[in-house]
Structure 1
Amino acid sequence: MADPNADYWTIAEVAEHWGVNEQTIRAYRSRGRGELPAPDKTFGRSPVWRPATIIRFQRLGQGTRTDLH
């Protein structure tokens, strides 16, 4: 389980927390439809998020139409 006390979570840790694969997180990020919060920081080209950012984020429910936003 991703450590909620870590300074930052990588894509892998966000995926683990949400129970999806890393490619799903990358797809959320590339679509830019509010499915993933903006990264809190970027190390090189790698986005990272504070655990609290991800934990507080209200994910859209499965099957929610994101093309209407």
Structure 2
Amino acid sequence: MGDADFIDLAAIAELLGVQHNTAQVYHKRAVRGRREGTEKPWDMPAPDAVFGRRPVWREGTIRKWIEARPGTNTEAATEARRGGRS
């Protein structure tokens, strides 16, 4: 298992088409949710490994997460994020 098997937040940001800082926010929000027991189904998955202090994921892990995420800027996405609550 080498470094090439994993992707970092910069690569995830590129896959998502967002800024690096946005990917960091997704990760930090997910970490906080797991820690506080408030994790959402669309939160970024836990890292598959940590190299030094750098979290990394297998590309397959991230692609599954991207496919399962509710879309953005749509009523369906808003509904999903609210858990069916208006």
User: Normalising to structure 2: TM-score of the pair?
Assistant: 0.63
Relative to total residues, which structure has the larger helix share, 1 or 2? 2
Greater relative contact order (CA < 8 Å, ≥ 6 in sequence):
1
Q: TM-score, normalised by structure 1?
A: 0.76
Write the mapping of 1:11-26 to structure 2, written as runs, cut at 5 A.
Answer: 11-26=9-24
- Report whether the alignment pairs 1:9 with 2:7: yes
Q: What is the distance in 2 between the residues matched to 1:36 and 1:21?
A: 15
Any unmatched runs of 5+ in structure 1?
Answer: 1-5
Hey, which bits of structure 1, 4+ residues long, moved more than 3 A? 63-68
Secondary structure of 2:13's counterpart equals helix
CA RMSD of aligned residues (A): 1.7
Equivalent residue letter for 1:53? T
Q: Give identity over the alignment, percent.
A: 40
Flag structure 2 segments of 5+ consecutive residues without an equivalent: 31-39
Larger-Rg structure: 2
